[in-house]
């Protein structure tokens, strides 16, 4: 994605957030705009948003955003850096909800009691080797020496 498109995405995100916050439609729940993604030809833009609340509040928020679409387009015309104002498509973004779920799972893991430690394998000479383990070879310096043979006539 080009730097120009990234700058336009950021500009639109800031402006949409500002305009919606100023207008504060009564049906809009706790709303956060998470991203804007403009097509390369600048004719379409996906506006990603997140709403904390019930499914009904999410539906009412989408309806309120759809009703504000024309107002947003008119307000965006004052931006001198945009020659064309894209057509906005509002897309619900459940990333914050999924992130909260992952956070809850991690908290649950941290609250569980720790697993018992695994038993240590003793390396003392008194301990017997495990039954399926083969004995380690004895180095020549530690091998027992045999008594020399006596010569017989």
Is pTM, for the whole model, over 0.85? no
User: What tens digit of pLDDT does each residue of 123-133 get?
Assistant: 655 555 555 55
User: What tens digit of pLDDT does each residue of 57-107 get?
Assistant: 888 889 989 988 988 888 888 877 777 889 999 999 888 777 777 888 888
Q: Can you name the residues that pair with 52 across neighbouring β-strands? A: 30
- Structural domains for the chain: 3-95 (3.30.300.20)
């Amino acid at each position: 994605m080009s730097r120009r498109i990234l700058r336009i995405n950021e500009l639109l995100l800031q402006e949409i957030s500002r305009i919606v916050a100023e207008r504060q439609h009564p049906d809009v729940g706790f709303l956060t705009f998470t991203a804007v993604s403009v097509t390369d030809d600048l004719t379409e833009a996906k506006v990603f948003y997140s709403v904390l609340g019930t499914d009904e509040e999410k539906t009412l928020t989408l309806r309120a955003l759809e009703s504000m679409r024309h107002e947003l387009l008119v307000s965006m015309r004052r931006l001198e850096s945009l020659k064309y104002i894209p057509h906005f498509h509002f897309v619900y973004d459940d990333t914050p909800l999924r992130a909260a779920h992952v956070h809850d799972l991690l908290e649950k893991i941290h609250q569980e009691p720790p697993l018992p430690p695994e038993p240590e394998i003793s390396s003392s000479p008194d301990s017997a080797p495990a039954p399926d383990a083969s004995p380690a070879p004895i180095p020549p310096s530690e091998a027992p020496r045999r008594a020399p043979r006596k010569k017989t006539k």
